[in-house]
Amino acid sequence: MGKVYDVIIIGAGAVGCAIARELSRYNISTLVLEKECDVAYGTSGRMSGVVHAGFNNKTGSLMAKLCVEGNRLFEGVCSELGIPYKKTGKVLVAFDEADMKVLEGIIERGKANGCEGLRLIGQDEIRAIAPGICGIGGMLSPNTAIFDPFEFCIAHAENAMDNGVDFSLESEVTAISRRNDTFYVTTPKGVFSSRFIVNSAGLYCDRISAMLGVDNYRIYPCRGQYYILDKVASDLLDIPAYPVPRPGIGGLGIHLTPTVDGNIIIGPSAEYLEDPDDYSTTPDVMDKLFSEAKALLPAIERKHIIGNYCGIRPKQAPPGEGGFRDFVIKEEEACPGLINLIGIESPGFTAAVPISFMVSDMLRKHIDLSPKTDFKAERKAPVRFRELSREEQEKLIKTDPEYGEIICRCQNVTRREIRDAIENRFGARSISAIKYRAWATTGRCNGGYCLAKIVDMLIHDYHMKPEEITYRGKGSELFSGEVK
Amino acid sequence: MRSCDVLVIGGGPGGLAAACSAKKAGASSVIVLERDNRAGGILNQCIHDGFGLIRYNCELTGPEYAARAIREATDAGAEILLSRHVSEISKTDSGYCVSVYTKDGIEEYRTRTIVLATGCRERTRGNISIPGSRPAGVFTAGVAQNLVNVRNVMIGKRVVILGSGDIGLIMARRLTLEGAKVLAIAEIMSAPTGLARNVSQCVQEFGIPLYVKTTVSKIIGKRKLEAVELSDLDQNGKVIPGTARRIDCDALVLSVGLIPENEVAQTAGVKLFANNAVDTDRYLQTSVPGVFSCGNSRHVMDLADYVSEQGEMAGRNAVHLIRGEEMETWDEEKSNCMKKGFPEEGTVTCTVCPNGCQVKWDEKTGTFSGNRCKRGARFAEQEHNSPTRSVTTTVKTASGSLIPVRTAGRISKAHVFDVVEQLRKTKLDSGVIIGDEVLRTEIDGEDIRVVATQTSL
Ligand SMILES: Cc1cc2nc3c(=O)[nH]c(=O)nc-3n(C[C@H](O)[C@H](O)[C@H](O)COP(=O)(O)OP(=O)(O)OC[C@H]3O[C@@H](n4cnc5c(N)ncnc54)[C@H](O)[C@@H]3O)c2cc1C
Ligand SMILES: Cc1cc2nc3c(=O)[nH]c(=O)nc-3n(C[C@H](O)[C@H](O)[C@H](O)COP(=O)(O)OP(=O)(O)OC[C@H]3O[C@@H](n4cnc5c(N)ncnc54)[C@H](O)[C@@H]3O)c2cc1C
Ligand code: SF4
């Protein structure tokens, strides 16, 4: 039996990665186990990308408290770790007087939760802030922001690695046992042991907990479908625009959100499912998304659509109950050493950093968390050629001619950026690993121009066989082999 | 910084023809900027034949057609610069300044006129929003063509094709020749949208089922494509409930249309139509004076031959404009004489030229009808007595890359698969020049010669 870690974190989503980074500040040993071949493959890579302000959640709940705190910390964390972030604010759009009344209540709740700057705005101001948006008025939340969720997870994980945390990918936890205060965690890569377990397995948190006999949780997967719009539509909106929330399943309604990269996303729907892994889109819902989004922003057109995706909420509230149940974040009395994070749905991403503090506070009661003297708080962001000035671009090309070769024409990604993405710290060689690091294949041609070029690089520069190239890790092989 | 009279953006057939004709019309300097490391555009991956029937009066493959166009442009004195990715056009006092990414830095070119010939891109799954999951194994036809013909990567063994545009039809034959089983082609419209000659030669000939008023209503498979669901469509193009049937497959190829590529044009402020095509006047001049547009970036066209013809006119008009001469006008109707859709029952589709006449042979009287010229009668007769085909495929080199090849002339239809099989086993250990023999063989007494259609050293 190998090393006994102090802590094993299960799941490398936003929450697991944030906890990994937080624990890397201290002189303890930490391992992250993730079933997929890369970070951010679960809910964290399939959401709206909004740093919520905290007015939507019940006053006094953990959700409200952690969201407000997370909103306050987010910008600082993003600048420390080189994560794209933009404080856009957000508008809630009212279509009638009844909506305006609801908004008054939301402002009251927001104030009680500690959100700052919320105020009602009239039609003129809505027009000024978001010119294409319909509605008779609304509410402005100045502290809401947008960010890059993939880069958030990648940056936290890389920084944690820099500070000594181990990661084991493609390591699905299939069983856990506990003997003499030590946990034994079974994965296809072997059995790992630790003194503490942090269960940040998202949609599978109930199953992980049940592996240790704590089986009083149940997660109800609830899917949200999205459309992605072409960057040509990005001029239509530069602030997230949401309808006034209505009572129901417990989503925030179909909204329009600009991404930090300049696309607009439409969604999400809310549909309860049996299978926590069913990321299918359905025609009826897709039609509804589009028509509801068009009601908010009439200028959008079908031809702007370049893609779609789904995210799944790990809800504790069963179908029929609706609404949000509060996060469960606690060390289980029935299983000392197990820290459970249950039902981390929206605003879970916003709350990830404060959640990581809660976890370290819980651990501090048991083990000495002495700070590392050589902790490196910063991480250098990858080069984003397309965002640089001409002079900076010219300089880069002189350092490496591969910066002068555009591989992805829609997003202007250079060969060198693709190479950096291929050579990522996690050894993740899938197309999606490259996609989420360099943003290649994400544009309007969906990889029509660059996919073949990237495949060529993988085959010739990285000596992969065609049949080894995957879209998202094992089981998603793209090709059947060579032609001849 | 370099300057010229006519700067052509894009080195496909449109751009090459524009450069060639501009030079011939007397422009003092003409430069073509091509982002790829090879000129010829999309033709380099179109290894099948059928190009040049109108322009050169013979049947060429894409790479052969490209090679001719390149030679004509260089012979005329146009300069073709490769690995140059144009990013932006800006206005200057006397014309335009064009910025270009290269491996040596950012270059700038000054020019009096510009011909845009940047080609097109494909509509994707995202554009048409097919319901279902998003697994590995869904490709657009052009990407599949590039992977299979250029990169030596096979996209799957059991393939369904959505859309019956020409690229999809061509890929149905290509994949079949390379050993894949094409299980179905689904077309939303009530007839195939590709040329009748392609429906006949690439689909019916191989017994591939083509279903009209049918779509892929669902994509199935979490990580890897496992199956698609095909459903019938009603008059309004809506899925008819209860008609879904599942087809297990490992690749779905989308041939659902092309969109003119005009990112660079937009930096110059060129006015576009809603479908991304360029709004030009009759002289092929865009809304920005001195900036012309041709080929697929102007408006998607069916045939490379017409693209070349239009490119030539755009190139000449650029020179006319500089000189203050009268410009030539483009006839929009020109390219619409080809038969599309299903071949008519009981006829032979003549493939001698792109018109695709539906030739009917009356056995009793020995007369032919439906053919617009005599060649059609000869073709139909041959097709009846001893049908022949040209075979196009690829051969592997020692370095692992692929060279496109073709039979020198047509061979007996019965020997097509034999030749393809022999070529699969053929390995070239040195480079080849276009026209070099790569295989000579005898099948059932027929002497068959196979030649390279591209130079690769
Ligand atoms: C549609 C939608 C929109 C949202 N929008 C927002 C928003 O705008 N703002 C916001 O703050 N929040 C939003 N959220 C919520 C937010 O996305 C989640 O709260 C957050 O991503 C949860 O992160 P996580 O790390 O807990 O879970 P996940 O990202 O799901 O990570 C869990 C990880 O555990 C891994 N795992 C599971 N089982 C095992 C196992 N047995 N062994 C090993 N690894 C395992 C998974 O592969 C996964 O990588 C949204 C959620 C949804 C669904
Ligand atoms: C996948 C596919 C298959 C086809 N198959 C057939 C067929 O079988 N038969 C047929 O007759 N027609 C076919 N066509 C139609 C074909 O496109 C035309 O016949 C013809 O090739 C179009 O010529 P073009 O010059 O307009 O564009 P292209 O051949 O596409 O050439 C455009 C060139 O511009 C370059 N370029 C683009 N942007 C830039 C930039 N920013 N800077 C520098 N260079 C740039 C590109 O690299 C490319 O080389 C096919 C089209 C596609 C997309
Ligand atoms: S018969 Fe028709 S298709 Fe055949 S060569 Fe003559 S015109 Fe062309």
CA angle, corner A181, sides to A178 and A182, nearest 5?
Answer: 60
B103 to A390: CB separation less than 8 angstroms, yes or no:
no
d(CA A161, CA A149): 18
- Measured between alpha carbons, how far is B290 from B297 in angstroms, rounded to an integer? 17
- Mark whether B182 and B264 lie in a shared domain: no
* B398-415 tens-digit pLDDT: 888 899 999 999 999 999
B154 contacts A482? CB cut-off 8 A = yes
Which CATH number fits the domain that encloses residue A393? 1.10.10
- Residue A110 distance to chain B (closest CA, Å): 38
Q: Tell the residue nearest (CA) to atom 17 of ligand 1.
A: A44
How many domains in chain A?
Answer: 3
Chain B contact probe: residue of A235, A275, A446, A471 with most B CBs at under 10 A: A446
What separation, in Å, do the N-terminal and C-terminal C-alpha atoms of chain B show?
32
Same domain, A11 and A64: yes
List chain A residues with CB under 8 Å of B142.
448
Pairing relationship of beta strands B181-186 and A255-258 according to DSSP bridges: unpaired
> Is the torsion defined by CA of A60, A65, A67, A72 positive or negative?
positive
| Distance in angstroms (rounded) separating the CA atoms of residues B46 and B171 | 10
Please tell me the distance from the alpha carbon of residue A333 to that of residue A273, in angstroms, as a whole number: 31
What pLDDT was estimated at residue B405? 98
**Per-10-residue mean pLDDT, chain A, length 484:** 91 98 98 97 96 96 98 98 97 94 96 97 94 94 97 98 97 97 97 98 98 97 94 91 78 87 92 93 91 93 91 94 91 97 97 98 97 97 94 97 93 94 92 92 84 95 97 96 95
How many C-beta neighbours within 10 Å does residue A60 have? 11
Q: Do A362 and A293 lie in a common domain?
A: no
Domain that holds residue A96: 84-144+220-315
CA of A384 to the centre of ligand 1 (A): 26
Searching chain B, which residue's CA lies closest to the CA of residue A287?
B129
Whole-prediction pTM = 0.94
Residue type, B230: L
User: Is residue A160 within a helix (H) or strand (E), and if so which, with residue range?
Assistant: helix A149-162
Examine the domain organization and report whether B403 and B380 are in the same domain. no
Of A308, A466, A475, the CB nearest to B126: A308
What is the number of CB-based contacts under 8 A between chain A and chain B? 152
CA separation, residue A210 to residues A36, A190, A343, B4 (Å): 21, 20, 14, 73
Q: Establish how many alpha carbons lie within 13 A of residue B164's alpha carbon, considering only the half-sphere containing its beta carbon.
A: 31
Instruction: Give how many domains chain B has, as a whole number.
Output: 4
In DSSP terms, B184 is beta-bridged to B160
- Give me the domain span that covers residue B357: 348-385
Min distance A395 CA to chain B CA atoms (Å): 8
Q: Is the CB of A35 under 6 A from ligand 1?
A: yes
Smallest CA–CA distance, residue A237 to chain B, in Å, is 20
pLDDT at A251: 65
Verify whether the Cβ–Cβ distance B134 to A279 is below 8 Å.
yes
Residue A248 has what pLDDT?
Answer: 63
Backbone CA torsion sign across A382, A384, A385, A389: negative
Which chain A residue has the Cα nearest residue B84?
A: A405
Q: What's the CA gap between A337 and A334, in Å, rounded?
A: 10
Domain of A359, CATH number, reads: 3.50.50.60
B225 found inside a domain: yes
Sheet with B251-254, strands from edge to edge, namely: B138-140, B251-254, B158-162, B181-186, B210-211
Instruction: Outline where B268-341 has alpha helix (H).
Output: 304-323
Please give the average per-residue pLDDT across B30-36, as a whole number. Answer: 98
B154 contacts A483? CB cut-off 8 A:
yes
> Do the chains contact at B224 and A475, CB–CB below 8 Å?
yes
Question: Can you tell me which residue has the tokens 């976890």?
Answer: A359
Token pair 């576009």 is at which residue? B272
Q: Does one domain contain both B128 and B252?
A: yes
Best of A278, A445, A456 to disrupt the B interface (most B CBs within 10 Å) is: A445
Q: Flag whether pLDDT at B363 surpasses 90.
A: no
CATH of residue A239: 3.30.9.10
User: Can you tell me the ipTM of this complex?
Assistant: 0.94
DSSP string, A173-205: --EEEEETTEEEEEETTEEEEEEEEEE--GGGH
| pLDDT score for B333 | 81
In a domain, B457, yes or no: no
Determine the pLDDT at residue A245. 83
Q: Which ligand is nearest to the CA of A12?
A: 1
* Judgement on whether residues A77 and A37 belong to the same structural domain of the protein: yes
Asked if residue A52 has its Cβ within 6 Å of ligand 1, the reply is: yes
How far is residue A443's CA from residue A410's CA, in Å, rounded to a whole number?
5
The answer to whether residue A309 sits within a structural domain is yes
A304 catalytic? Reply is no
Ligand 2 mean position to A214 CA, how many Å? 61
DSSP one-letter string for B198-241: HIIIIIGGGT--EESSEEEEEEE-SSB--EEEEEEB-TTSPBPT
Confidence check: pLDDT of B52 > 90? yes
Name the amino acid, one letter, at B299: H
One-letter amino acid of A344: I
Give domain status of residue A481, yes or no.
Answer: no
Considering only CB atoms, B105 lies closest to which of A282, A286, A404, namely A404
Q: Is the peptide bond before A347 cis (omega within 30 degrees of 0)?
A: yes
Specify whether the CB–CB gap between A365 and A352 falls below 8 A.
no
